[in-house]
Amino acid sequence: MKISGSATKEGTARYRKRFDGKIPAEHFRQAQGVWMSSIGIGTYLGNYDDATDQEYHQATIRAVESGCNVIDSAINYRLQRSERAIGTALKELATKGYNRNEIVVATKGGFIPYDGTPPKDARGYIEETFIKSGLATASDIVSGCHCMTPKYLRHQLDCSLRNLDLECIDIYYLHNPETQLGKITQEEFDSRLVKAFEGLESAASAGKIRMYGTATWNCFRNPVDAKDYLALAHVIELAEKAGGKDHRFKVIQLPLNLGMSEALSSQNQPLHGHQHTLLEAAQEFGITVMCSASVLQGQLTRNLPPIIHETFTGLETDGQRALQFVRSTPGVTTALVGMKQQKHVDENLQTAHIAPAPWEQYSKLFQHESS
Protein backbone atom coordinates (compact mmCIF):
# COMPACT_ATOMS: atom_id res chain seq x y z
CA MET A 1 0.00 0.00 0.00
CA LYS A 2 1.40 3.37 -1.06
CA ILE A 3 2.20 6.02 1.52
CA SER A 4 -0.32 8.83 1.12
CA GLY A 5 0.15 12.56 1.55
CA SER A 6 3.04 14.93 0.98
CA ALA A 7 5.15 17.43 2.88
CA THR A 8 3.05 20.12 4.53
CA LYS A 9 3.66 23.32 6.46
CA GLU A 10 2.27 21.75 9.64
CA GLY A 11 4.14 18.48 9.22
CA THR A 12 7.52 20.03 8.48
CA ALA A 13 7.03 22.51 11.35
CA ARG A 14 6.44 19.52 13.62
CA TYR A 15 9.61 17.90 12.29
CA ARG A 16 11.56 21.10 12.96
CA LYS A 17 10.18 21.20 16.49
CA ARG A 18 11.63 17.73 17.15
CA PHE A 19 15.07 19.36 17.19
CA ASP A 20 14.32 22.40 19.35
CA GLY A 21 17.24 22.93 21.70
CA LYS A 22 19.33 20.32 19.86
CA ILE A 23 20.02 22.04 16.52
CA PRO A 24 20.13 25.81 15.83
CA ALA A 25 16.85 27.02 14.38
CA GLU A 26 18.64 28.43 11.29
CA HIS A 27 19.24 24.86 10.12
CA PHE A 28 15.66 24.88 8.85
CA ARG A 29 14.51 27.24 6.09
CA GLN A 30 10.95 27.97 5.03
CA ALA A 31 10.50 27.61 1.29
CA GLN A 32 7.43 27.01 -0.88
CA GLY A 33 5.22 26.65 2.18
CA VAL A 34 7.27 24.00 4.01
CA TRP A 35 10.30 23.83 6.30
CA MET A 36 13.38 22.23 4.74
CA SER A 37 16.64 21.25 6.39
CA SER A 38 19.75 23.07 5.19
CA ILE A 39 21.41 19.69 4.55
CA GLY A 40 19.76 17.09 2.32
CA ILE A 41 20.70 13.50 1.58
CA GLY A 42 21.63 12.62 -2.01
CA THR A 43 21.53 9.08 -3.41
CA TYR A 44 23.50 9.22 -6.67
CA LEU A 45 26.61 7.06 -6.27
CA GLY A 46 27.11 3.40 -5.47
CA ASN A 47 27.01 -0.13 -6.83
CA TYR A 48 23.91 -1.78 -8.24
CA ASP A 49 23.60 -4.38 -5.51
CA ASP A 50 21.56 -5.35 -2.47
CA ALA A 51 24.30 -4.32 -0.04
CA THR A 52 24.30 -0.73 -1.36
CA ASP A 53 20.49 -0.70 -1.33
CA GLN A 54 20.64 -1.57 2.36
CA GLU A 55 23.27 1.10 3.01
CA TYR A 56 21.04 3.78 1.46
CA HIS A 57 18.02 2.45 3.35
CA GLN A 58 19.85 2.77 6.68
CA ALA A 59 21.51 6.10 5.76
CA THR A 60 18.15 7.64 4.86
CA ILE A 61 16.66 6.59 8.19
CA ARG A 62 19.70 7.89 10.08
CA ALA A 63 19.57 11.20 8.19
CA VAL A 64 15.89 11.80 8.99
CA GLU A 65 16.45 10.89 12.63
CA SER A 66 19.40 13.33 12.73
CA GLY A 67 17.66 16.46 11.42
CA CYS A 68 17.64 16.03 7.62
CA ASN A 69 14.15 16.06 6.11
CA VAL A 70 15.15 16.62 2.45
CA ILE A 71 15.72 13.44 0.43
CA ASP A 72 16.94 13.73 -3.18
CA SER A 73 17.05 11.05 -5.87
CA ALA A 74 16.43 10.37 -9.58
CA ILE A 75 14.94 7.43 -11.42
CA ASN A 76 18.25 6.70 -13.16
CA TYR A 77 20.32 6.76 -9.96
CA ARG A 78 21.71 3.27 -9.50
CA LEU A 79 19.27 1.91 -12.10
CA GLN A 80 16.16 2.85 -10.07
CA ARG A 81 17.53 1.15 -6.96
CA SER A 82 18.09 4.41 -5.03
CA GLU A 83 14.42 5.34 -5.31
CA ARG A 84 13.43 1.87 -4.13
CA ALA A 85 15.78 2.08 -1.14
CA ILE A 86 14.22 5.41 -0.18
CA GLY A 87 10.77 3.84 -0.48
CA THR A 88 11.60 1.09 2.01
CA ALA A 89 13.25 3.63 4.33
CA LEU A 90 10.15 5.83 4.34
CA LYS A 91 8.03 2.84 5.30
CA GLU A 92 10.33 2.02 8.22
CA LEU A 93 10.41 5.68 9.27
CA ALA A 94 6.61 5.63 9.44
CA THR A 95 6.84 2.81 12.00
CA LYS A 96 9.20 5.02 14.01
CA GLY A 97 6.69 7.86 14.16
CA TYR A 98 7.90 10.03 11.26
CA ASN A 99 4.88 11.08 9.26
CA ARG A 100 5.04 11.48 5.48
CA ASN A 101 4.06 15.14 5.84
CA GLU A 102 7.30 15.87 7.73
CA ILE A 103 9.61 14.84 4.88
CA VAL A 104 10.38 16.53 1.54
CA VAL A 105 11.01 13.93 -1.19
CA ALA A 106 12.49 14.97 -4.54
CA THR A 107 13.29 12.94 -7.62
CA LYS A 108 14.02 13.50 -11.31
CA GLY A 109 13.10 12.26 -14.77
CA GLY A 110 14.63 12.79 -18.20
CA PHE A 111 17.51 10.36 -18.53
CA ILE A 112 16.58 6.89 -19.74
CA PRO A 113 16.99 4.51 -16.80
CA TYR A 114 17.84 0.86 -16.75
CA ASP A 115 15.95 -1.36 -14.35
CA GLY A 116 17.92 -2.89 -11.49
CA THR A 117 20.79 -4.29 -13.55
CA PRO A 118 22.53 -3.03 -16.70
CA PRO A 119 21.11 -4.68 -19.85
CA LYS A 120 23.44 -6.70 -22.07
CA ASP A 121 22.19 -4.78 -25.09
CA ALA A 122 21.53 -1.15 -24.14
CA ARG A 123 20.26 -0.14 -27.57
CA GLY A 124 17.94 -3.13 -27.72
CA TYR A 125 16.63 -2.34 -24.23
CA ILE A 126 15.77 1.23 -25.23
CA GLU A 127 14.18 0.02 -28.47
CA GLU A 128 12.00 -2.57 -26.73
CA THR A 129 11.14 -0.62 -23.58
CA PHE A 130 10.55 2.86 -24.92
CA ILE A 131 10.29 2.99 -28.71
CA LYS A 132 8.33 -0.16 -29.59
CA SER A 133 6.02 0.46 -26.63
CA GLY A 134 5.19 3.90 -28.04
CA LEU A 135 6.54 5.84 -25.07
CA ALA A 136 8.99 7.73 -27.31
CA THR A 137 10.14 7.97 -30.90
CA ALA A 138 13.77 7.75 -31.93
CA SER A 139 13.77 11.49 -32.66
CA ASP A 140 12.49 12.24 -29.14
CA ILE A 141 15.62 10.64 -27.64
CA VAL A 142 18.70 12.85 -27.71
CA SER A 143 22.29 11.56 -27.39
CA GLY A 144 20.87 8.07 -26.92
CA CYS A 145 20.00 8.81 -23.29
CA HIS A 146 17.60 11.72 -22.77
CA CYS A 147 13.92 12.30 -23.44
CA MET A 148 11.47 14.89 -22.12
CA THR A 149 8.21 14.42 -23.99
CA PRO A 150 5.09 14.63 -21.81
CA LYS A 151 4.18 10.98 -22.49
CA TYR A 152 7.65 9.77 -21.51
CA LEU A 153 7.80 11.94 -18.37
CA ARG A 154 4.32 10.77 -17.33
CA HIS A 155 5.55 7.18 -17.58
CA GLN A 156 8.73 7.97 -15.65
CA LEU A 157 6.84 9.81 -12.91
CA ASP A 158 4.51 6.84 -12.47
CA CYS A 159 7.55 4.53 -12.26
CA SER A 160 9.11 6.79 -9.60
CA LEU A 161 5.88 6.80 -7.60
CA ARG A 162 5.93 2.99 -7.67
CA ASN A 163 9.62 2.82 -6.76
CA LEU A 164 9.15 5.20 -3.83
CA ASP A 165 5.80 3.68 -2.89
CA LEU A 166 4.31 7.16 -2.65
CA GLU A 167 1.08 8.75 -3.83
CA CYS A 168 2.77 12.16 -4.24
CA ILE A 169 6.31 13.42 -4.78
CA ASP A 170 7.04 16.85 -3.33
CA ILE A 171 9.54 18.07 -5.94
CA TYR A 172 9.85 16.59 -9.42
CA TYR A 173 12.77 17.83 -11.49
CA LEU A 174 13.23 17.70 -15.22
CA HIS A 175 16.72 16.23 -15.18
CA ASN A 176 19.45 18.10 -17.08
CA PRO A 177 17.28 19.41 -19.93
CA GLU A 178 20.38 21.15 -21.28
CA THR A 179 21.46 17.71 -22.55
CA GLN A 180 19.28 18.52 -25.55
CA LEU A 181 20.65 22.01 -26.16
CA GLY A 182 23.04 22.08 -29.10
CA LYS A 183 21.53 18.84 -30.44
CA ILE A 184 18.30 20.51 -31.53
CA THR A 185 17.47 24.11 -32.40
CA GLN A 186 16.67 26.62 -29.66
CA GLU A 187 13.16 26.94 -31.07
CA GLU A 188 12.60 23.17 -30.88
CA PHE A 189 14.15 23.05 -27.40
CA ASP A 190 11.81 25.79 -26.15
CA SER A 191 8.83 23.94 -27.64
CA ARG A 192 9.87 20.69 -25.95
CA LEU A 193 10.41 22.45 -22.62
CA VAL A 194 6.96 24.08 -22.72
CA LYS A 195 5.33 20.72 -23.48
CA ALA A 196 7.29 19.05 -20.67
CA PHE A 197 6.17 21.78 -18.28
CA GLU A 198 2.55 21.39 -19.44
CA GLY A 199 2.79 17.69 -18.60
CA LEU A 200 4.20 18.47 -15.16
CA GLU A 201 1.49 21.05 -14.54
CA SER A 202 -1.06 18.31 -15.25
CA ALA A 203 0.75 15.99 -12.84
CA ALA A 204 0.61 18.70 -10.16
CA SER A 205 -3.12 19.23 -10.79
CA ALA A 206 -3.62 15.46 -10.45
CA GLY A 207 -1.85 15.46 -7.06
CA LYS A 208 1.08 13.32 -8.21
CA ILE A 209 3.61 16.09 -7.49
CA ARG A 210 3.47 19.25 -5.39
CA MET A 211 5.80 21.32 -7.55
CA TYR A 212 8.41 20.91 -10.26
CA GLY A 213 11.63 22.43 -11.51
CA THR A 214 14.86 21.67 -13.32
CA ALA A 215 17.85 19.83 -11.91
CA THR A 216 20.79 21.02 -13.98
CA TRP A 217 24.55 20.81 -14.20
CA ASN A 218 25.80 23.36 -16.73
CA CYS A 219 23.03 25.53 -18.10
CA PHE A 220 22.62 28.08 -15.28
CA ARG A 221 26.38 28.27 -14.55
CA ASN A 222 27.82 28.60 -18.04
CA PRO A 223 28.77 31.78 -19.91
CA VAL A 224 25.98 33.32 -21.98
CA ASP A 225 27.59 32.20 -25.25
CA ALA A 226 27.82 28.51 -24.28
CA LYS A 227 25.64 26.22 -26.38
CA ASP A 228 24.03 24.73 -23.27
CA TYR A 229 23.42 28.02 -21.46
CA LEU A 230 19.95 28.95 -20.19
CA ALA A 231 18.66 32.15 -18.66
CA LEU A 232 16.40 31.54 -15.67
CA ALA A 233 14.16 34.41 -16.79
CA HIS A 234 13.60 32.62 -20.11
CA VAL A 235 12.77 29.32 -18.37
CA ILE A 236 10.26 31.17 -16.16
CA GLU A 237 8.66 32.62 -19.31
CA LEU A 238 8.24 29.10 -20.68
CA ALA A 239 6.75 27.93 -17.36
CA GLU A 240 4.26 30.79 -17.54
CA LYS A 241 3.39 29.75 -21.09
CA ALA A 242 2.71 26.24 -19.78
CA GLY A 243 0.95 27.04 -16.51
CA GLY A 244 0.11 30.73 -16.44
CA LYS A 245 1.16 33.10 -13.68
CA ASP A 246 0.29 30.45 -11.06
CA HIS A 247 2.61 27.85 -12.57
CA ARG A 248 4.15 25.21 -10.29
CA PHE A 249 7.76 25.71 -11.47
CA LYS A 250 9.18 26.54 -8.04
CA VAL A 251 12.60 24.90 -7.58
CA ILE A 252 15.92 24.59 -9.34
CA GLN A 253 18.91 22.43 -8.51
CA LEU A 254 22.48 23.11 -9.63
CA PRO A 255 26.01 22.53 -8.36
CA LEU A 256 27.52 24.93 -5.86
CA ASN A 257 30.66 24.23 -3.89
CA LEU A 258 34.06 25.70 -3.08
CA GLY A 259 35.31 24.68 -6.53
CA MET A 260 32.18 25.58 -8.52
CA SER A 261 30.92 28.94 -7.26
CA GLU A 262 29.31 30.29 -10.47
CA ALA A 263 25.78 30.50 -8.99
CA LEU A 264 27.19 32.96 -6.47
CA SER A 265 29.96 34.65 -8.45
CA SER A 266 29.03 34.72 -12.16
CA GLN A 267 26.75 37.53 -13.33
CA ASN A 268 25.38 35.57 -16.26
CA GLN A 269 21.63 36.04 -15.71
CA PRO A 270 19.77 38.92 -17.41
CA LEU A 271 17.23 40.67 -15.22
CA HIS A 272 15.63 44.12 -15.65
CA GLY A 273 18.25 45.15 -18.18
CA HIS A 274 21.23 44.20 -16.01
CA GLN A 275 23.29 41.06 -15.41
CA HIS A 276 22.89 39.27 -12.10
CA THR A 277 24.01 36.05 -10.48
CA LEU A 278 21.82 32.98 -10.61
CA LEU A 279 21.11 33.24 -6.88
CA GLU A 280 19.99 36.85 -7.29
CA ALA A 281 17.75 35.95 -10.24
CA ALA A 282 16.20 33.02 -8.33
CA GLN A 283 15.42 35.29 -5.40
CA GLU A 284 13.75 37.79 -7.73
CA PHE A 285 11.47 35.07 -9.13
CA GLY A 286 10.76 33.38 -5.81
CA ILE A 287 12.52 30.20 -6.93
CA THR A 288 13.95 27.87 -4.29
CA VAL A 289 17.59 26.87 -4.89
CA MET A 290 18.85 23.41 -3.94
CA CYS A 291 22.57 22.84 -4.42
CA SER A 292 24.11 19.57 -5.57
CA ALA A 293 27.73 18.39 -5.40
CA SER A 294 28.29 20.23 -2.10
CA VAL A 295 31.50 18.30 -1.42
CA LEU A 296 32.14 17.52 -5.13
CA GLN A 297 31.78 13.76 -4.72
CA GLY A 298 34.31 13.72 -1.90
CA GLN A 299 36.98 15.88 -3.57
CA LEU A 300 36.44 18.69 -1.05
CA THR A 301 36.66 16.54 2.06
CA ARG A 302 40.42 16.97 2.51
CA ASN A 303 43.31 19.42 2.05
CA LEU A 304 41.25 22.61 2.07
CA PRO A 305 43.32 25.82 2.44
CA PRO A 306 43.75 27.53 5.83
CA ILE A 307 41.35 30.39 4.91
CA ILE A 308 38.49 27.86 4.88
CA HIS A 309 39.43 26.67 8.38
CA GLU A 310 39.61 30.28 9.56
CA THR A 311 36.25 31.21 8.00
CA PHE A 312 34.19 28.19 9.02
CA THR A 313 35.07 27.63 12.66
CA GLY A 314 33.73 25.11 15.15
CA LEU A 315 33.89 22.22 12.68
CA GLU A 316 36.13 19.18 12.77
CA THR A 317 36.57 18.05 9.16
CA ASP A 318 37.07 19.58 5.74
CA GLY A 319 33.93 17.84 4.55
CA GLN A 320 31.94 19.71 7.20
CA ARG A 321 33.62 23.00 6.23
CA ALA A 322 32.79 22.45 2.54
CA LEU A 323 29.18 21.77 3.51
CA GLN A 324 29.12 24.84 5.75
CA PHE A 325 30.18 26.99 2.78
CA VAL A 326 27.18 25.88 0.72
CA ARG A 327 24.53 26.01 3.47
CA SER A 328 25.79 29.47 4.52
CA THR A 329 25.54 30.92 1.00
CA PRO A 330 22.83 33.60 0.85
CA GLY A 331 19.92 32.39 -1.26
CA VAL A 332 20.58 28.67 -0.85
CA THR A 333 17.88 26.59 0.85
CA THR A 334 19.51 23.15 0.99
CA ALA A 335 23.01 21.77 0.43
CA LEU A 336 22.69 18.25 -0.95
CA VAL A 337 25.38 15.70 -0.19
CA GLY A 338 25.56 12.04 -1.14
CA MET A 339 25.42 9.83 1.96
CA LYS A 340 25.21 6.07 1.81
CA GLN A 341 27.18 5.22 4.94
CA GLN A 342 25.91 6.01 8.41
CA LYS A 343 29.30 7.37 9.47
CA HIS A 344 29.06 9.96 6.68
CA VAL A 345 25.54 10.86 7.79
CA ASP A 346 26.81 11.38 11.32
CA GLU A 347 29.74 13.51 10.16
CA ASN A 348 27.68 15.66 7.78
CA LEU A 349 24.76 16.17 10.15
CA GLN A 350 27.16 17.33 12.87
CA THR A 351 27.42 20.44 10.69
CA ALA A 352 23.76 21.13 11.47
CA HIS A 353 24.74 21.64 15.12
CA ILE A 354 26.65 24.78 14.10
CA ALA A 355 24.64 27.77 12.90
CA PRO A 356 25.30 28.75 9.26
CA ALA A 357 28.11 31.29 9.02
CA PRO A 358 26.84 34.90 9.12
CA TRP A 359 27.66 37.14 6.16
CA GLU A 360 30.35 39.04 8.08
CA GLN A 361 32.21 35.77 8.54
CA TYR A 362 31.34 34.22 5.16
CA SER A 363 32.44 37.32 3.23
CA LYS A 364 35.99 36.96 4.54
CA LEU A 365 36.49 34.48 1.73
CA PHE A 366 36.00 37.21 -0.85
CA GLN A 367 38.14 39.69 1.03
CA HIS A 368 40.88 37.05 0.96
CA GLU A 369 40.47 36.51 -2.80
CA SER A 370 40.73 40.23 -3.56
CA SER A 371 43.74 40.86 -1.32
Specify the pTM. 0.97
**Dihedral, CA of residue 172, residue 33, residue 244 and residue 291, to nearest 10:** -50
In angstroms, rounded to a whole number, what is the distance separating the alpha carbons of residues 95 and 276? Answer: 47
Q: Alpha-carbon distance 293 to 302, whole Å?
A: 15
The Cα 189–Cα 98 span in angstroms is 41
Q: Number of folded domains in the chain? A: 1
Per residue in 147-199, pLDDT tens? 999 999 999 999 999 999 999 999 999 999 999 998 999 999 999 999 999 99
CATH number for 202: 3.20.20.100
Q: What is the pLDDT of residues 69-103, one digit of tens each?
A: 999 999 999 999 999 999 999 999 999 999 999 99
Measured distance CA(149)–CA(188) in Å, rounded? 12
Q: E strand or H helix at 30, and its extent? A: strand 28-31
Whether residue 1 is contained in a domain is answered as: no
Task: Answer yes or no: is pLDDT of 369 > 70.
Answer: no
Supply the pLDDT for residue 366. Answer: 78
Answer whether residue 288 is part of any domain.
Answer: yes
Stretch 235-242: mean pLDDT, rounded?
98
**Per-residue pLDDT for 371 more than 60?**
no
Whether the CA torsion 225, 232, 281, 254 is positive or negative: it is negative
In a domain, 329, yes or no: yes
In a domain, 205, yes or no: yes
Range of the domain at 30: 9-370
Between CA 338 and CA 351 the distance in angstroms is: 15
* Mean pLDDT, rounded, of the chain: 96
